[in-house]
């Protein structure tokens, strides 16, 4: 995976590598996450470089159905704030309604990493502030980007995944 990673925050050509998490636990989750990936891949300025397998994961927060989760590595020609806006628009396209924190949702797209950028604004934090605590993020991300260095901890994804309880995450084989 090292060959996919660019070590500067934004390359001189304006191209960056970004990691995103994708999840769903309402509606036809499998159909929704696959369609959302296709939408991302067809978005100008975004190239889908690789995606993880899908994983069934126990929900965090109030009682709700299990999630279908995965991760993807994108090559993007945009600043992180624009990428976030695109992710939020795709969530809306697939019926995301923001009611309860950590509540059930048709689609959740999280911007996890953007090259080695560390960003903390009122609207966006990179790396994602809770990714290091979430097996449902780290397991699929470790599958596709094990050597990506998380810039705050200075640890690789494969190192971070060793520190979380992965018992609620299992490979999704389809229904």
- Does 105 participate in catalysis according to the annotation? yes
Identify the active-site residue in 13, 28, 56, 96: 96
User: Per the residue annotation, which of 13, 56, 105, 165 is the catalytic one?
Assistant: 105
75 forms beta bridges with 17, 47
> What are the start-end ranges of the H helices in the chain?
29-41, 80-93, 135-144, 157-161
Angle at the Cα of 84 (from 80 to 85), degrees rounded to 5?
Answer: 120
Catalytic, 110? Answer: yes
Q: Which of the following is catalytic: 110, 130, 163, 165?
A: 110
Choice among 108, 147, 165, 175 that is catalytic: 108
Catalytic positions, please?
96, 105, 108, 110
């Amino acid at each position: 995976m090292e060959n996919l990673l660019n070590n500067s925050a934004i390359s001189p050509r304006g191209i960056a590598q970004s990691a995103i998490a994708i999840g769903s636990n309402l509606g036809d989750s499998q159909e929704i996450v696959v369609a959302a990936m296709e939408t991302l891949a067809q978005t100008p300025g975004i190239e889908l470089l690789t995606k993880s397998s899908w994983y069934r994961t126990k929900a965090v927060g109030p009682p709700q159905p299990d999630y279908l989760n995965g991760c993807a590595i994108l090559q993007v020609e945009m600043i992180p704030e624009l990428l976030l806006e695109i992710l939020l628009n795709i969530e809306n396209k697939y019926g995301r309604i923001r009611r309860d924190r950590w509540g059930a949702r048709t689609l959740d797209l999280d911007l996890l990493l953007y090259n080695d950028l560390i960003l903390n604004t009122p609207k966006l934090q990179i790396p994602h502030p809770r990714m290091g605590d979430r097996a449902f993020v780290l397991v699929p991300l470790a599958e596709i980007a094990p050597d990506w260095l998380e810039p705050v901890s200075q640890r690789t994804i494969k190192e971070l995944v060793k520190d979380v309880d992965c018992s609620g995450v299992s490979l999704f084989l389809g229904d």
